[in-house]
Structure 1
Amino acid sequence: MSTTVNFETVDDYNKFNNHETLHPLVSVIDFSKAHQRTGSKMNFNLYCIFLKDVKCGDLKYGRATYDYQKGTLVFVSPGQVLDVENKIDLYQPMGHGLVFHPDLIKGTSLAKTISDYHFFSYHTNEALHLSAKEQQLVLDLFAIIDTELQQSVDKHSKKLIASNIELFFNYCERFYDRQFITRENVNKGILEKFEDLLNNYFSSEKPYSIGLPSVAYCADELHLSANYFGDLIKKETGKTAQEYIQSKIIDVAKERVFDADKSIAQIAYELGFKYPQHFIRLFKQRTGVTPNEYRSLN
């Protein structure tokens, strides 16, 4: 049974990896300096990004296992627990990492935008796989931050470190955009599966029991995080996942309004609307006419 190691501070994580603490709120880690160890469960109160050179067991977050291999970037945010399973023998960690406490970015521009970096809330099986060139760029950015940590702390330190972390995150967004395109074998068919999911949803009794399909519901059915799913659909269609769902609702509604035996209220309930007026409002927003007007025009 693995023990749980808690990391409340950067110093906690530095000690775990045999590193000197140069700054109380941020550190660049060279895992080759760490002592050999076995797998363990780790509870983080820190932001951590790992670029490991060796696979050190099955890396799990919650019930999901990382799509993890050499050259994979792993993102961890405060409150997450990682579990290195199936590694009972001693191994030598290898690779590099960046770890920082949330207090580091307070009062910086990064504090206002960090929630926009969706990869911190992607599921673990949606990790970022880097090319050799991308890996080198990550190491170069880590080196810039590490160089700053070697300097004496002054009034510029926090801003410079935070801005370089933000630059790193912006590159990670670019890498994810590339991955959405290049990993077609992984992402292929998601849009088709999404379309099938919606078709099956509206031909079932689920709208009565669940209501309108949410982005979170669809993502869960497709075994993706809501953020990753939303980003993927946006890249593929130019629409947000919510806009795509609403377009599907209107397409189905356009067919059903021609059933003269059903009232507009009945159709609204069939689609999952709690109140018919909400259906009428959305229909008019999307088509320019009410459902009854659309029925009479065709």
Structure 2
Amino acid sequence: MDDLIKLDSVEKYNKLFGLETLHPMVAVIDLSKATVWPEHLKINYGVYALYLKDTKCGDITYGRQPYDYQEGTIVCFAPGQVAETEMQKDVRPAAHGILFHPDFIRGTALGQEIRKYSFFSYEAREALHLSEKERTTVMECFRNIEAELEHNIDKHSRRLITANIGLLLDYCLRFYERQFTTREVSNKDVIVRFERLLDEYFDGEAPLENGLPSVKYFADKVFLSSNYFGDLISRQTGKTVTEHIQDKLIGRAKELLLSTSQPMSEIAYGLGFQYPQHMSRMFKRIVGCTPNEFRMQGA
């Protein structure tokens, strides 16, 4: 299996291409300024990424399917998704884009709304094809975000940066809806169904009624054996089903800790943990601090 790069920080991406890091959790990318460019990359994204491709400089495989893109298009990736890029020889990458860590938007309006941007999904294998006017709008959004990143960080920075990212995503949502008004969503692959099932489980009363979901629960929903389902998810994403479930749990816990005043024990029971200590141990193992410490840091 090819080496899989777990892209869990903005700085790691910048190092791949020899770019400067202005902010530890957000970056506006201009690949024409790259000082190095790998010919082959297989990335498991731990950040949100949106690229405006100025030239078709290679082939992208996304969710085991080819990504439909060409010059002047936008491609998007979300945490947990895997993309493989094969660069064309002697062709320098040319693209603008933005990367932002999910923790940067937690507890903000954008963090609460991020799931509405359906283009951050394995369903959207088609790239977004922009008109020249739309491209100008996107580039203006990039420039506004970059201007904030170049400004000295103060108490307004996070709110202004997330607001500008939200504006960019709202424009992209409008452009996608324009492009895909007649598109029929068909042949959902297993990853798409798994993503939806995870959200549906934690959006409803299932955690309170049934506790934490098992691998078998999701395997049964997609009509596969647990072993086959587990192997399929691991091969395509580089993560086990259990790791995906834990990522979802930690993400929901972080959101509730920062956007509500619910006690930690209430959050734990609401997510399906039998005892609050179980959530606290998992949270500290994965995040590096306790839920209460995380809440205090974000206060």
Q: CA offsets, 1:217-246, max 9 Å, x none?
A: x832799x67xxxxxxxxxxxxxxxxxxxx
| Map of 1:63 onto structure 2 | 64
* Counterpart-to-counterpart distance in 2, 1:50 and 1:88: 18
Runs of 5+ consecutive residues of structure 1 not aligned to the other structure: 191-217, 227-298
Amino acid at match of 1:137: T
Structure 1 letter corresponding to 2:49: C
Is 1:99 paired with 2:66? no
**Contact 1:51/1:72 (<8 A) preserved:** yes
Deviant stretches of 4+, over 4 Å: none
**CA distance in 2 between partners of 1:174 and 1:52 (Å):** 19
1:167-186 alignment runs, 5 A limit: 167-181=167-181
| Structure 1 residues 122 and 7, CA gap change in structure 2 (3 angstroms) | closer
- 1:49-83 per-residue CA deviation (whole Å, 9 max, x = no partner) reads 01111212221112211111111111100011110
- When the two chains are superposed, the root-mean-square deviation of aligned CA atoms in Å is 2.4
Checking the alignment, whether the CA contact within 8 Å between 2:123 and 2:188 is kept in structure 1 is no
Separation of aligned partners in 1, 2:126 and 2:56 = 17
* Partner in structure 2 of residue 210 of structure 1: none
Q: Which amino acid aligns with 1:176?
A: Y
Residues in 2 aligned to 1:125 and 1:108: alpha-carbon distance in whole angstroms: 28
Question: Aligned equivalents of 2:31 and 2:57: distance in 1?
Answer: 12
- Calculate percent identity across the aligned residue pairs: 47
Question: Which consecutive unaligned segments of at least 5 residues does structure 2 have?
Answer: 194-299
Larger Cα-atom Rg: 1
| 1:41–1:82 contact (8 Å) kept in structure 2 | yes
The SS at the match of 1:219 is coil
Letter in 2 for 1:220: N
Rounded Cα–Cα distance in structure 2 between residues aligned with 1:155 and 1:176: 33
Count residues with an aligned counterpart: 192
Measured at CA, do residues 123 and 13 of structure 1 come closer, stay the same or move farther in structure 2, by a change above 3 Å? same
Q: Is 1:220 aligned to 2:220, yes or no?
A: no
Give the 3-state SS of the residue equivalent to 1:32 in structure 2: helix
1:53 maps to 54
Structure 2 contact 117–169 (Cα < 8 Å) conserved: yes
Structural mapping, 1:1-298, within 5 Å: 3-34=3-34, 35-85=36-86, 87=87, 89-181=89-181, 187=183, 190=184, 219-220=186-187
Quote the offset at 1:29 in angstroms. Answer: 0.5
State the shift of 1:107 in Å.
1.6
- How many angstroms apart in 2 are the aligned matches of 1:133 and 1:220? 33
Query: Is the 8 Å Cα contact of residues 51 and 71 (structure 1) preserved in structure 2?
Result: yes
- Take 2:111 and 2:38, find their aligned partners in 1: how far apart are those partners? 34
State the TM-score, normalizing by the size of structure 1. 0.60
- Offset at residue 6 of structure 1 (A): 2.6
